[in-house]
Amino acid sequence: MSSQTLCNLSVIDGVTDSLVLRPLVTTDKDEIMRIAGAIGTATFAVSMPEYCGVIGVKPATRARREQEAAQEPVFDMAILDRALAACRKIPLERFTEEALQRTDVEVLSVPLAQATIIDIRHPDESDGAPLHTHIPALHIPFYELHGRACELAPASTYMLYCGRGAMSRLHAGHLKEARGLDVRVYAP
């Protein structure tokens, strides 16, 4: 959002020869959120990280052209070329397979008695085919799971369910690694 201030937009326009299209530039945040709700993207937008937070805790909201002009000559413009030359292109299917091979997560076809099942499917998918088990189940869509991981008790056992198993394995591996949770995959 810091890049969307009028000062910053002006600096961005001043340093590029490319046309920058901004279809929402005259729309305020409340209206953008209303539109996002109407088209079904609000839940995804809320769970997305603010990328300006990657840069620092106090991003510039009032950039000045002279600041940019002072930094541009010392910036290594070949950095993008080097990054592209060093990148590895992986078809999405192979990326998923490689990620799953790195994931050390137990996959079970029968739920553990002491476990809580977490259905991570999108609400549209889970509403049409509810998960019926005798084990307690929560519904936390995959796009909310990591933001709500603090709600999960560290001493409990969880089993993720997604229907096919791949999404569950990826998320379970991340929750084990990042949060130290006892997480398995339920794949009946």
Positions annotated as catalytic residues are 162
The Cα 104–Cα 98 span in angstroms is 12
CA distances 69 to 11, 59, 81, 126, Å, are 10, 18, 21, 52
Helix (H) or strand (E) holding 108: strand 107-108
Q: Tell me the two tokens of residue 10.
A: 């002006």
The Cα 77–Cα 162 span in angstroms is 43
How do strand 182-186 and strand 137-139 relate by DSSP bridges? unpaired
